[in-house]
Chains A and B, each alone.
Chain A
Amino acid sequence: MAEAKKQIAFVVDLNKCMGCHTCSIACKTLWTNDKGMDHMWWMKVNTMPGRGYPRDWETMGGGYDGAGNLNLGKQPKTEDYGKAMEFNYEEVFFGGGNGKRAHLAPRESPGWGPNWDEDIASGEYPNTYFFYMPRLCNHCSSPACAQACPYGAIQKREEDGVVFIADQEKCESCPEPLCMKGCPYKEIYRNPVRNVAQKCNGCLPRMEREVAPACVRQCPGRCIWVGFLDDPDSPVHKLVEEWKVALPLHSEFGTKPNVFYIPPLSPPRLNNEGDIDATQPRLPVEYLRSLFGPEVDGVLSRLKGEIEKKRKKEESKIMDVLIAARWQELLGPFVKDPSEAR
């Protein structure tokens, strides 16, 4: 596969995300609100630790082994997404004369969903913990989905590194979606109505018009940056390459993901007397390491140090970038208003 000349990248700040899912809805309403796409949430926010979406995706496999060989993992089953929720509005509002007072509920019990474990914490009260993590396609530099596709239907664009389904026809004739087994993040989906694989397209039609992806532009928490990793002026570059405070998720999967996370801080634990116990963080370090690698320790102390500087009214470039006083700073080169970019 050709190397991208420029690589688009996202930085997601987990200290800003409040779990509101505006990104999920922005994406859903723009891209996946069609027949056969009920289970598709190219962008979603999961409560972490949690089983996520699709359920238990972190254990399904895929990506590459240490030697760089493709691993085919599991393909998520219907129940890992949960059954599509169809509701009985007409029975509720117009019960008619049959004497039944139906209540509004999914016609079939869904069993799971894109945000099923919302706000379900881990740990033990009062030292309980959780945080919100938005997830989208990583537009990997070594995309395992593309590697797995025997037909070459999935490609990585040279001009921006977006991983997309380039050949619908080849995709449609595929008997077994190996792409889904290849992707360790399970960010590629199958549309059973159109019989094709579908995935986050990086909001290409927007980016081509210099408009930021919907999830980025619509995020009221201002927690997602987009930009070219290779552009030294871009906040994305600074956070990932220069200051190294944004880390990839499960880099051990070997796909070289291009979504990076500012790891989450958390309030201190309490000891048995109910006093602050500063000896260990509320969010277990081992857990964060399992997501973001051993570098996470250093990043968290760096973040704390930078906040401390601000407390002392000293300068902190990292904090200034993370504060992003002007919202446009998050959008990289994609600053156009979509209504004016037809």
Chain B
Amino acid sequence: METYQVELKGAEAEQIGCRSRLYSLLSSGFRFPSAEIYEGAKTGKFAAEIQAVITNLPYSGLTAGELGRETGLSCEEFQSNYIGLFEVGNNDGPPCFLYEAEYAGGRMKVMEEVLRFYHHFGLRLSTEKRDRPDHLASELEFMHLLTFKEAKAMVDGKESGAYLKAERDFLRFHLSDLLMAVGKRVGGNRVLFYTDLAHLAENFCQKELAYLLTIGKGGKSD
């Protein structure tokens, strides 16, 4: 697939760019940790990257905090913590699944709707991953794409209303619910990196939703 990029001209575009980058960073953070993510977490690079984009958001009150405090862990331990926390459970209790539908009474429709959101914007699931559409990382990645397109539309002088509407509706009916549920489950003294990351993501998305509703560019809900 070709690479897509957009030159962020102007402060407003920069702001959209930062929102988009944060979605992307959070998405990477919630995928199974590669050595790169581990290094980033350990060296503070990951936290710094997040901090850098946070400062340029259209709203305040977010902080990368102490993301990456588990510097004492080896990469393997870090990965095993991820599996324990999100897939198979650990000493603190059962896992906190990262799939939206697992927290929603109506499973299939939730998954189906997420899929149709993706489809509407020209996306399908990656065939390498063989995963469900409603994984937190993919939902965050989708927001990354929408905000990317929003930025590109703005730079290209095109109408961005469809993206804003979709961002708002996707957050409101999907991502927020998932992050709220995950936030509750990872609470307590579990794997600190992920507790912080989940809370950051939850706060971010709440602010995003409030922001999108305030600017009202999405128009009335359906």
Q: Which residues of A pack against B, CB within 8 Å?
A: 29, 32-38, 84, 86, 88, 90-91, 93-98, 168
Contact = CB atoms under 8 A, between A and B. Distances in A.
CB-CB nearest 10 A-B residue pairs: A94-B89, A96-B89, A38-B105, A34-B109, A90-B94, A34-B106, A33-B106, A97-B91, A33-B109, A94-B94
B218 interface: no
B182 to A, nearest CB: 12
Interface of B: 84, 87-97, 104-110, 113, 173, 177, 222
6 contacts: A29-B108, A33-B109, A34-B113, A35-B110, A91-B94, A96-B93
Given A36-B106, A37-B105, A91-B94, 9 more contacts: A33-B106, A33-B108, A38-B106, A90-B94, A90-B95, A94-B87, A94-B95, A96-B90, A96-B93
Given A29-B108, A86-B105, A90-B97, A35 B177 contact: yes
A32 B106 CA distance: 8
Contacts of B93: 91, 96, 98
A93 B87 CA distance: 10
A85 to B, nearest CB: 8
A324 to B, nearest CB: 31
Contacts of B104: 35
A96 B106 contact: no
Contacts of B88: 94
Contacts of A88: 94
Nearest to A169: B220
Contacts, number: 54
Given A35-B173, A35-B177, A98 B106 contact: no
Nearest to B87: A94
A34 B93 CA distance: 28
B181 to A, nearest CB: 11
Contacts of B92: 96, 98
A40 to B, nearest CB: 9
Contacts of A32: 106
Nearest to B88: A94
Given A96-B94, A97-B90, A33 B177 contact: no
Nearest to A90: B94
A90 B98 CA distance: 12
A96 B81 CA distance: 13
A35 B105 contact: yes
A36 B94 CA distance: 26
A32 B108 CA distance: 10
A245 B106 CA distance: 39
A294 B12 CA distance: 74
B108 A96 contact: no
Contacts of B105: 35, 37-38, 84, 86
